[in-house]
Structure 1
Amino acid sequence: MLYNARMTDITPIDNDLSRRFLFEQADIRGETAHLEQVLSDVLESHQYAPGVQVLLGEFLAASVLLSTTLKFEGTLVLQARSEGQVPLVMAECNSELTVRAIARGAQEATASDFDQLLSEGQLAITIDPVKGQRYQGIVPLVGGSLASSLDAYFEQSEQLHTRFWLRSDGQRAAGLLLQQLPAQLVTDACEREEQWAHICTLAATVQDEELLELAAERMLYRLFHEDPVRLFQPRGIRFSCTCSRERTLNALSSISVDEIEDILREQGSVTMDCEFCNQRYVFQKEDLAALLERGEDPTLH
């Protein structure tokens, strides 16, 4: 079902929803994303400073928008490593719009400025399809924002024109994506560039409160009321961690047998906590029999 993007100000906000839209007279598509409860769920297990909460909100919104560009089942991981106050921030979203995120080493972060939090950083986008090969692209963090860095990533990759607008206040997060489509409605190259520049100029007028507070229908009408837009049915976004006892046990295989044996001698069991959701997994000696058999002497002394 399609919607006409001409609604009133009383249209309810699209909390934890993604909305796809198309321009009727231009080969341009778009996507909006609004997160509130999802962001709260991600932050619930961690004591992040306000600036880190804002950063995670933008990464989550961006991961949702990016995942909508995928045409196959899989997971998209958006990750930044830096020399700043946040050594690593990561958000991932799969094709079902299930998300999770983490900021590692950010316990002492006090800044609210993007460049201070992620100074001298690199941005990596990893696409991990259920079927097929994994792909990763890496670019420097530029322009003092995640949106500018994503714009640069797509410009460097020489894909179709793509632009991002991202906002977060630490309690809510939202994003707007525009992407040029292959020529169908308009084939003249100059006209396509003019249309793209026109739509991007209008989108660039979006205010923080419009992204965060307005429903997709109302926001799109404010931005593009002279350009016919079709708005598709919403898709729900939810938080869910992909950790499991089996995956955690597999992760222990990277630890040496001697180290596992030392932990068992000292503590009686091996305990691992998921960084994303704080779920705790406890493994007794019998649970680790297969791992211990890798050693020359699997018997604990």
Structure 2
Amino acid sequence: MNDQHPVDPSGKVLLITGTSSGIGLATALAAAGAGYTTVATVREPARATALLGAAEAAGVTVDVRRLDVTDPGSVSDCLAAVRRTYGRLDALVNNAGVSNSDPTLEMSTDAALRANLEVNFFGVAAVSRAAMPLLRAAGGRLVTVGSVHGVVGQPFNEAYCAAKFAVEGFMEALAPVAAAHGVQVSLVVPGFVPDTGFGIFPDVDRATLHAASGPYAPTFAGYLDWVGGQGWESAGQPAREVAEVVVRTLRERRPPFRVPTSAWAAGYLAAKLADPDGSAVQTLARSWLGQPPSTT
């Protein structure tokens, strides 16, 4: 990324969803430390204890607000409160998400699949929609925490991959339109982040594994061997590193659309993508809107 003349965060108001733990908590601390006025939202205010303690220890201030991304009233109330308090919103980081605990499609239910999409996709769309008028007024930023699972489908993660693929397509389609109206859209793409609890399977014995995955038990066992061996977990990075990438992306004057958070994540995406940072697709899409190519 081009950080020679980064955006000055002083006086800029940033809202982050899902800050009770993991990437959201780390991003709230990093953004506040960088100088953003940071509105850190949580679904349940009682779960903000860790964030507030970490903010105090770091010597930074965060404004904790309630926001349930699946509740339209909660979304509108939170954005209205931000407008009343600050009169502006310069950036949104969509981070709130849930993992998928069902081993595979046959072991899942329609209700579980819909619940996953409600948080991981529809929640992102709802908050982005509510924030867009303020972001347009500020010439702001919309950054969403995606996943390598939004580009490469991972076995035994069908529901989560479906939601993250949906987010990837949604943001890729939105980005050139938003840019034409002054809002930069980026997707930050981490791999495995162990201190979020996402993607960590419990240490189960073979009997429990068989009960959980039925006829897929042998295949699931092979997958778990890969996860805990030379595969997924061996490539983990801490949430604070992902947070640093999020804040750098917020401050980048012309950020790329897709920003992997590590060399491992970039390599993982490269196995599928010929346009790893999304620049070629964004240039093509801008031409469909009669917009000139972006210049750095």
TM-score interval, smaller chain: under 0.3
Q: Scaled by the length of structure 2, what TM-score is found? A: 0.25
Instruction: Choose 1 or 2 for highest CA Rg.
Output: 1
Structure with the largest fraction of strand: 1
Compare relative contact order (CA 8 Å, sep 6+) and give the higher one, 1 or 2: 1
